[in-house]
Amino acid sequence: MRDEFWEPARKAVYEIKIKRSLFISHAALTKNEEEAKEYILKTSQEHKQATHNCWAYRLGVEPVLEYYSDDGEPSGTAGKPILGAILHSGLTNVTLVVTRYFGGIKLGVRGLIEAYGEAASLCLEGAGRKKAYLEKNCIIVVPYSFYSSLLYQLKNMGLREETFIPSFKEVVTFNCCVPLSMEKALESYLCDLQGQSLIEEWKWEDN
Domains of the chain, with CATH numbers? Answer: 4-131 (3.30.230.30), 134-204 (3.30.70.240)
Q: Which residues of the chain have pLDDT under 70?
A: 1-2, 207
**Per-residue model confidence (pLDDT) at position 3:** 79
Q: Which stretches does DSSP call E strand in the chain?
A: 4-7, 12-18, 21-29, 52-59, 65-69, 94-101, 130-133, 135-142, 165-168, 172-179, 201-204
CB 24 within 8 A of CB 47: yes
Give per-residue pLDDT as tens, 123-135: 999 999 999 988 8
**Per-residue model confidence (pLDDT) at position 207:** 53
**Per-residue model confidence (pLDDT) at position 145:** 95
